[in-house]
Structure 1
Amino acid sequence: MNKKEKIRKLLNKNGSESEPFFFMISYDLTKYEIIKLNQLPKDINFELSDDKSIFSSKKIGIEKFPLDFKSYKIAFDKIQKNIKEGNSYLLNLTIKTKIDIKLSLDEIYKYAKSKFKLKYKDEFVCFSPEKFVDIENNKIFTYPMKGTIDANIEDAQKKILANKKEMAEHTMVVDLLRNDLSIVSSKVRVEKFRYCEKISAGKKDLLQVSSKIKGELNSDWKSKIGDILTSLLPAGSITGTPKIKTVEILKDVEKYDRDYYTGIAGIFDGENLYSFVLIRFIEKIQNELYYKSGGGITCDSDAILEYKEALDKIYIPT
C-alpha cells in the first residue's frame, strides 16, 4: 500500500468514528500525522482562528541570505520554457532562503500573529494566512489565495484588482480549484470572486487577493474525509495548472524537497473540518533556519518582480 492510499484509509477510518483528530500531510503525500486530539503530544502546537484583529506590538527582525537572482532566473526561465511549450499555464515557483532570527521556534510561534499557526516539534513553525478547505453542514468551501501587493501603495486594492497579470493568475487558480471541488462535491460555484484581505508582513502590511468557492457533499462525507482530501492534494494554489504536469516540472526546477511546506494541516472536531495550507514557513535544518517562500508564474510574469515577491514574503506576521 503506498503512502497516499494509507493516508486515505486512515482519514476515512478516523472520520467514520466521529472522534476529533488533528491531521497534517506533506506536499507530496509521503509524510503525515493523523492523531486524535486527546492524544496530541505536547510538542505539536496549533491555533486556528478567523479573528482578523489579532496583532502584536513586537516587531521581529530577520536577516536574509537569499538565493542569488542569477540562480532564480535559471529556474524562472525553465518555467517560462515549459509555459511556451504548453506544458503548464501557471506554476508556483518556491525557494528556500537561509535566515537568521534571534529567536527559537517556540518563541517565533509565540510572537507570530496569524489566522493559522502550527509548530511541529523542533522541526518547523508555520503561520499561514491561507485556508485549504472547510467542511460545515455538508458543504465544502475553499479559498484560493493568489495575488499580493504592499498595502501602503496608493490605491493598492484598486491597482491589484485591475492588474491583468494578477487577474489571469487568480482566475486560473479559481478554475483549477473549482474543478477540484467538482471531483468530490456537487453544485460547485464561486460565491465570492477576488476580494482583498490585509495581513501583517513584519515591517509592512500586505493586501492578499482571495476567492470563495462552495460545493455540496453527501451526508456520509465524514467516512470519506480521506477520499476528499487526497483527491484535492496537493493544493492547487501552491502548484499550478494543469496540476499533475506542473508538479513534475516544479520537482525538476526547484532542486529541493518542499516536504511539509505547501502541504496542509487541520482538525476534524467530530462534526466539521477545518484546514489550512502550510505556507509562511520556517524550517530548522541541521540547526540552521530556512524560510520557504514563492509565488505564481505565468507567461506575463517578470523575473525581477517575482524574485522580489518571494523575498518580500519572508517575514514574521506580528
Structure 2
Amino acid sequence: MISEIPFRAKGIELMNKLGTTSTPFLFVIDYKMENSVIIPLQQIDNTVLCFEINGTRNFEPSAQSITPPFQFSKHPVSRDIYQRGFDIVMKNLRLGNSFLTNLTFTTPIHSNLNLKDFFMNSKAPYKLWINEKFAVYSPEKFVIIHDNVIRSFPMKGTIDATLENAEQIILHDEKEMAEHYTIVDLIRNDLSLVAKKVRVERFRYFDTINTNQKTLLQVSSEIAGDLEPDWQNEIGTIFSKLLPAGSITGAPKKKTIDIIQEAESEPRGYYTGVFGIFDGKNLDSAVMIRFVEERGGSLFYHSGGGITVNSICEHEYQEMIEKVYVPIN
C-alpha cells in the first residue's frame, strides 16, 4: 500500500528535508497540490510502485512483449458534453479572463492490458505505475535541475507525422503558434519565481512519438534559469511555487484554474500533476499526461488540449480523442 500525505501541510517540508540531507527520493504530486507520495528511493516496494525516468528505473524490464494487434477501444464523452465545457472556456476567453485554457475529459477504455501491462510495454521517457491506481507514460518533461540550472520543456502542438509538410503546417498554424507563445511566456514567468537569468534556449522544436495508432510530431520549447547553489534545501518550496504546471492549465494561471474547475466534468486527481526523482544531487521530473486510471475495476484515460479564442470545437474534440493512445508499436 502506498501512503499519501497532504502536499502543502507535509509534502513541501518533507521534500525540503530530504533535499537538505541529499537523500534520493521519488515524489508524486497531484494536480491541485492536495495529495502527494514522497518516498526515499531505498524504501520503494516495486510490487506496488514502479518508475522509469530517462533510463533510471526500480524494476527489471520484462522480456515478454505484446504482439499487436492487442485489444484497445475508447469510448469518449459525447460531442454535446464536450461542447458544454468548450463553451464555458470560450466564453471566458472572449471576456478576456484567459488567453489559453487547457480543457480535459475522461475517456472510458477497454483493453486486454491492465495498468501494469501499460506501464511495462509502453515506450516513453517518463513512466510511473502505482498498483490499482494509475499508470503514466508521459513524453513531457516538467523541470530538470542539473548543475544549479533549472530547465522546463512545455509541450504545445501535436500533428500526425505522416501528413505532407506536417512540420510546416503546425509551425505556421496561427492557433498553435499563439498557444505556444502563451505557454512559453507563462513558463518564463513561473521560472522567474525561483530562478535568475531566465531565458528561452530552444523554441518550437520537434519530438517524434510512436503510438499504437500513428506517429505524431510534438512541438516543445526549452526555458532555463539559474538557481542558488543551495537549491536542494528548498525542493518542496520550489515545486509549490511552480505548480500546477503551466502547460496543462493556461494563462493567466490563477484565473484559468477556476475556469477549468467550472468547465471540466470531474476532478483531475493525479492527472496533470507531476512526478520525478531527486538523486541526491540533481532532479528530473515530468508532467503526468498520457494517463490511465483504474476505478472500480474499469479503466479511464485522461486527455485534452489547449483552447484559444481561435479554437474550433470539432477540431479540439477530435484532438482530445486522438490523444487517447498507447505508445506501443
State the TM-score, normalizing by the size of structure 1: 0.96
Alignment of 1:274-293 (within 5 A): 274-293=284-303
Structure 1 ranges of 4+ moved more than 3 A: 55-61
Aligned to 2:60: none
Displacement after TM superposition at 1:50 (Å):
6.9
Is 1:17 paired with 2:17? no
1:8 and 2:12 equivalent? yes
- The 2-side partners of 1:273 and 1:41 are apart by 21
Query: Does the CA contact (< 8 Å) of 1:189 and 1:215 recur in 2?
Result: yes
- SS of residue paired to 2:269: coil
2:305 corresponds to 1:300: no
Gapped runs of 5+ residues in structure 2? 57-64
Three-state SS of the structure 1 residue aligned to 2:193 is helix
Q: Contact 1:58–1:111 at 8 Å: present in 2 too?
A: no
**Which residue is 2:51 aligned to?**
46
DSSP 3-state at the match of 1:184: coil
**Residue type matched to 2:230 in 1?**
D
What is the CA-CA distance between 1:3 and the residue it aligns to? 4.0
1:200 matched to which residue of 2?
210
Deviation for aligned residue 1:56: 8.2
Question: Which residue pairs with 1:37 in the alignment?
Answer: 41
Match of 1:112 in 2: 122
Q: CA deviation at 1:61?
A: 3.9
TM superposition shift of 1:8 = 1.5
Question: CA separation in 2, counterparts of 1:58 and 1:9?
Answer: 46
Which whole-Å CA distance do the structure 2 matches of 1:87 and 1:301 have between them? 16
Distance 1:110 1:59, change over 3 A: farther
Structure 1 gaps, min length 5: none
Q: Which residue of 2 aligns with 1:26?
A: 30
**Could you tell me how far apart the structure 2 residues matched to 1:148 and 1:201 are?**
13
2:85 — aligned with what? 75
Letter of the structure 1 residue corresponding to residue 316 of structure 2: E
Provide the rounded CA distance (Å) in 2 between the counterparts of 1:194 and 1:59: 34
Asked if the contact 1:294–1:313 (Cα under 8 Å) also holds between the matched residues in 2, the reply is yes
Structure 1 residue 31, shift from structure 2 partner: 0.9
CA distance in 1: counterparts of 2:6 and 2:35, whole angstroms? 11
In structure 1, what is the equivalent of residue 59 of structure 2? none
CA distance in 1, matches of 2:290, 2:140: 10
- Please give the alpha-carbon distance, in whole angstroms, between the structure 2 residues aligned to 1:85 and 1:111: 45
- How far apart are the structure 2 equivalents of 1:110 and 1:21? 21
Give the match's secondary structure for 1:265: strand
Q: Distance in 2 between matches of 1:57 and 1:116?
A: 23
Match of 1:247 among 257, 270, 286: 257
Deviation at 1:89, TM superposition (A): 0.8
Q: Shift of the alpha carbon at 1:19?
A: 0.9
After TM superposition, the score normalised by the length of structure 2 is 0.93
CA contact (8 A) 1:89 1:240 kept: yes
The residue type equivalent to 1:209 in the other structure is V
For residues 120 and 196 of structure 1, the distance between their equivalents in structure 2, rounded to whole angstroms, comes to 30
User: 3-state DSSP class of the match of 2:185?
Assistant: helix
Distance in 1 (CA, whole Å) between partners of 2:219 and 2:70 is 25
1:169 correspondence with 2:167: no
CA contact (8 A) 1:56 1:113 kept: no
Identify the residue that residue 98 of structure 2 maps to in structure 1. Answer: 88
Partner of 1:145: 155
1:201 shift after superposition: 2.3
Q: How big is the alpha-carbon RMSD for the aligned residues of Structure 1 and Structure 2?
A: 1.6
Alpha-carbon distance between aligned partners in 2 of 1:50 and 1:229, rounded to the nearest angstrom: 23
Structure 2 counterpart of 1:66, one-letter code: P
Give 1:92's aligned amino acid. N
Structure 1 position 219, deviation (Å): 0.3
Identity %: 47
Identify the residue that residue 130 of structure 1 maps to in structure 2: 140
Find the aligned partners of 1:114 and 1:63 in 2 and give their Cα distance.
21
